[in-house]
Amino acid sequence: MTRPVLGLVASAAGGVETWLRPGLAEPLARQGWRLAITLTPTVARWLEPQLGELAALTDLPVRWTSRLPTEPKPHPVPDAFVFAPATLNSIAKLSLGIGDNQALTVLGEALGRRAPMVVLAQVGADQSHHPAYSGHLAVLRDAGVAVVSGGPEEVLEELAAVAPFVAFDKWA
């Protein structure tokens, strides 16, 4: 039996270094998800001291760079995605289809497939008033993405709503 795969993607928003692992990655792993973790290059640098602890939650490598064309794909295609936290920068790129790093590449493909996806937007007040921001959120929501702005608990709740088909008893 294969466990459902969750693409867990993170970008560089403040506080991620304190809550990503204990607040989100560990609960998701406990729920039974097989985690395919991909980081933006900036947050990979921020999380460098705890990359080993993140990697210990999954049998799949934690990614932040693209593979060479001659290398096999390190991750299987995930059943669902969580993008948390999502910066203004990465939300803009995702809505426009810009895949200039591995995290945005995998999210862009998932959006194209309309894979179940929860995005935890973490933007400051000034950032949220950027004239393009509301349009970028609308693009994501129109594609079926659940955009939330609370915390990791809200992500866990929304994921259960958008990916109910991922019945864990299929691998129990």
Ligand X SMILES: Cc1cc2nc3c(=O)[nH]c(=O)nc-3n(C[C@H](O)[C@H](O)[C@H](O)COP(=O)(O)O)c2cc1C
Residue 38 vs 87, nearer CB to ligand X: 87
Least distance CB 159 / ligand X (angstroms)? 21
As measured in angstroms, the least distance from the Cβ of 45 to ligand X is 10
* Residue that has been written with the tokens 């008893």 in this structure: 169
Q: Is 136 helix (H, G, I), strand (E, B) or coil?
A: helix
Residue 127 C-beta: closest distance to ligand X, Å: 5
Q: Do 116 and 81 meet the contact criterion of CB atoms below 8 Å apart?
A: yes
Check if the beta carbon of residue 82 is closer than 8 Å to that of residue 9: yes
Measured CA distances, 166 to 31, 71, 147 (Å): 11, 29, 20
Q: Which residue ranges make up the site for ligand X (CB under 6 A)?
A: 11-14, 40, 42-43, 87-90, 122-124, 127
Residue closer to ligand X, measured from CB, 38 or 58:
38
User: Which residue's CB is nearer to ligand X, number 43 or number 82?
Assistant: 43
Q: Report the Cα–Cα distance between both ends of the chain, in Å, rounded.
A: 8
Q: Quick one: 34 or 63, whose CB is closer to ligand X? A: 63
Work out how close the CB of 26 gets to ligand X at its nearest, in angstroms, rounded to a whole number. 21
